Amino acid sequence: MTVHSFQEHFDAKIDNEVMIEPRDWMPDDYRKTLIRQISQHAHSEIVGMLPEGNWITRAPSLRRKAVLLAKVQDEGGHGLYLYSAAETLGITRDEMYDQLHTGKAKYSSIFNYPTLTWADIGAIGWLVDGAAIMNQVPLCRTSYGPYARAMVRVCKEESFHQRQGFEIMMTLANGTDVQKKMAQDALNRWWWPSIMMFGPNDADSPHTAQSMRWRIKRFTNDELRQKFIDVTVEQARLIGLTVPDPDLKWNEERGHYDFGPINWDEFWNVVKGNGPCNKERLDARKKAWEDGAWVRDAALAHSEKRKARKENKEVKEVKAA
Amino acid sequence: MNQLLYTLQIADNALIIGHRISEWCGHGPILEQDIAITNTSLDHLGQARSLYQHAADMFNALSAEQKNALFTSTALQNKINKGENIDEDDLAYLRDSWDFRNVLLTEQPNKDWAYTIVRSFFYDAFNFYFYTELQKSKDSVLAAIAEKSLKEVTYHLRWSSEWMIRLGDGTDESKERIQEAVDNRWAYTGEFFEATEADKAMLAEGIGVDLAGIKTKWMERVNAVLEEATLTLPANNWMHSGGKECRHSENLGFVLAEMQFMQRAYPDMEW
C-alpha cells in the first residue's frame, strides 16, 4: 500500500468507528496528539496524588483515612494504566517522566492549587473528579483502542471517587457552623479552577477541531463545561452551598445555566508555571524520582544477578548431562 | 481489663505502622511499589479498625470507675464523664501518647526505602507468627481478626522479604544502605518478645500468644532472609524497650499531633 492508501484506510476506520490498534498504521500527528494527551493524563493522575495525599495523615476519622488512602492508590493505578497505554505508541515511561520533570509535558493545572482544609478533599472528589468524569466518559469511546480500554477502568473508579467527595461535602454541609464554613470555603476556592479544567473556550482551543475529526475527542471543551455546570449547580443547591458566581442564572431558552466570565489570565498564568503550588508539585515528583534512583538500580542489578545465576546453573546442568 | 489492654497493644501497632507507611503514598521510588506499599498501609489500618472496635466494646462494658482510671486525656475523660460510649475513632484520636501501647519500632520514621523495608520486615515476620498463633485465641473476635489478617500479613512478609533480598543482593550502595538500616533498627526488635502484664495474663487464659514460643521461629525466619540477602545482624544486642508500657520515643508525639489534629481542633463532630 502507498502512504496515500494507508491514509485512506485509516480514515475509513475512523469514519466507521473501528478502533485503531497499536500495530495499525496511523498518521504521525495522530500518534503525537495521543502521546501528548495520554501522557498528560497519566501525569495528572500521578501529580494529583500529592494534594490529596497531603491529608492522608490528617484525615478526621479512620474510615475517611481508609477511603482516602484507597482513592489515592486508585489514582496511582490510573497512572499505571495510562502510562501503559501511551507506551503502546512507542514512548517509554522513563521518557514520559523525563518530559514531566523537565517541564516539557504538562499535567492538569488544577493540581497546582493547595489543599488547605479537610473540606478540600471533599471538593476535589466532588468537583475535580466530577469534571474529570465529564471529560473522561466520552474517552471510553475514543478512537485509539488501548486508551479507550484504559478509560473504561478509570471511569468506573472515578465515579466512586466523585460520590465519596460529594458525601464528604454533604456531611460537612449538614454539620456544625464551622463545618459548613469549611465546605463553603472549599467550594469558593475550587469552583473556578474546576470550571477551567475543561480547557480554553472552543474558539481558543487549537487542537479541538483535529481531535474531533480523529474522534479522539467527542465533545468540545465548552459543551463539556456547560454540562458540568448544569449538573453541579443543582448538587450544590441540594446540600445548601452557594456557587461563587453572581452571574449564574438558569436560561430557560437555552435550557442551560448562564455563567459569569472565566478568568483566563489566571488559567494561562498557572499553565505557565505561576500557580500557588506548581513548584512544590514538580519538586515533590522530582524528589521521589531522584531519591528512588538507587532503589531502581538495586532492583535491576538484583534481577540481572538472578538471571545470570540461573543461566549459569543451566549451563552446568547441560555440561553435567 | 487485661484483655482490653492486650487488644490495644495489637491495635496500636497496626495503627502506627500503617500511619508511617501511609506517609509514602505518592512519593514511592517506583509507581508499582507506591501502589503496593499503600495497599499494605490500608491492610494495617483495616486491622487497627477491627481491633479498636473490639476494644471499644470491651471499654464500654467497664464500670464508670474503671473507665475513669484507664485513659488520661481530657478529651476522652469528658466523653466518659458525659456517659457516652466510645468508638474506634475515640481510641485512635483522643488518647495521648502515654496511653499508646505500640512497640517503639512501629513509630520510627521512614527515613528512606531501606529503613522502611527493614522496619516492615522485622514487624511483618513478627506479625506472621503472632497472628498464626492468635488464630487459636479463646477470644473468638481476636481469633477471627487474626485469621483474616494472616492472609494479608503473609503477603506483607513475602513483599518485605523480597525487598530485603533485592536491596541486600543488589548494588553496593543498596547493600550499604540496607545493612545500615538493619544495624540501626535491630535494637527495636527485642520489645516484640517482652511480656507485659497483659501478655502474661492473656497467655494464662488461653487468649494471648506465647511470645517466647514465636521468638525462635521469628529468629529463624529473620536469619534465613538475612542470609539470602547477604546481610548480617549487628554484634550489639542491647535492646530498646518501653513502648508496650506506654513509654515512647519522641517520634510518637509528632505522629499523634498530625494524626489527631482534626478531632482535637474540631471536637465532637461527624466527619
Q: Does the pLDDT value for residue A2 go beyond 80? A: no
- Of residues A260 and A316, more confidence is placed in A260
The amino acid present at B33, given as its one-letter code, is Q
Q: How far is CA A199 from CA A25, A112, A115, A244, A277, in A?
A: 30, 15, 21, 19, 19
Residue A1 has pLDDT above 70, yes or no: no
Whether B30 and A292 lie within 8 Å, measured CB to CB = yes
B22/A299 Cβ within 8 A: no
Give the model's pLDDT for residue A314. 84
Using the predicted structure, report yes or no on whether residue B107 has a pLDDT greater than 80. Answer: yes
Range of weakest confidence among A277-281, A291-295, A310-314, B8-12: A310-314
Summarize the confidence of residues B59-80 as an average pLDDT.
Answer: 92
Residue A293: CA atoms inside 13 Å, Cβ hemisphere, count? 5
Residue A256 bridge partners (DSSP): A251
Question: What average pLDDT score do residues A77-84 get?
Answer: 96
- B257–A contact, CB cutoff 8 A: no
What is residue A258's DSSP assignment?
E
Whether residue B259 and residue A57 make contact (CB cut-off 8 A), yes or no, is yes
Mean of all residue pLDDT scores within chain B: 97
What would the mean pLDDT of A145-169 be, rounded to a whole number? Answer: 93
Choose the closest CB to A296 out of B22, B29, B42.
B29
Chain A interface includes B261 (CB < 8 A): yes
Question: Do B41 and A178 lie within an 8 Å CB cutoff?
Answer: no
pLDDT band at A278 (very low <50, low <70, confident <90, very high): very high
DSSP A268-314: HHIIIIISSSHHHHHHHHHHHHHHTHHHHHHHHHHHHHHHHHHHHHH
Which residues of chain A make contact with B31, given a CB cutoff of 8 A? 46, 76, 79-80, 83
Overall average pLDDT of the B80-102 stretch: 96
Over residues A59-74, mean pLDDT: 97
Mean pLDDT of all residues in A6-18: 92
Task: Compute the distance between CA of residue B146 and CA of residue B175 in angstroms, rounded to an integer.
Answer: 34
d(CA B1, CA A100): 55
Residue owning grid cell 502515654: B98
What 3-state DSSP class applies to B26? coil
Which H or E run contains A256?
strand A256-258
- Which residue's C-alpha cell is 493524563? A41
A181/A186 Cα distance (integer angstroms): 9
CATH topology of domain B2-265: Ferritin (1.20.1260)
Q: Do B270 and A59 touch (CB under 8 A)?
A: no
Predicted confidence band at A120 (pLDDT cuts at 50, 70, 90)?
A: very high
Contact A69 B171 (CB under 8 A): no
- Bridge partners for A249 per DSSP: A258
Provide the b/e sequence for A149-184 (b: ≥16 CB within 10 Å).
ebbeebbebbeebbebbbebbbbbbebeeebbebbb
A vs B, Cβ pairs < 8 A, gives: 134
- C-alpha A23/C-alpha A2 separation (Å) is 17
Q: Convert the pLDDT of each residue in B66-75 to its tens digit.
A: 999 999 999 9
pLDDT of residue A316: 84
pLDDT digits (tens, 9 = 90+) for B147-173: 999 999 999 999 999 999 999 999 999
Supply the pLDDT for residue A210.
85
- The whole model's pTM is what? 0.95
Rg (CA), chain B: 19
CB A296 within 8 A of CB B29: yes
Nearest Cα residue to B7 out of B205, B145, B152, B153: B145
Measured CA to CA, the distance from residue A80 to residue B186 in angstroms comes to 35
CB-based contact (8 Å) between B258 and chain A?
yes
CA neighbours closer than 13 Å in the CB half-sphere of residue B113: 30
Distance CA B240, CA A213 (A): 68
Average pLDDT over residues B62-83: 91
B26–chain A Cβ distance below 8 A for any pair: yes
> Does any CB of chain A come closer than 8 Å to the CB of residue B176?
no
pLDDT of residue B27: 97
Question: Stretch B170-188: mean pLDDT, rounded?
Answer: 98
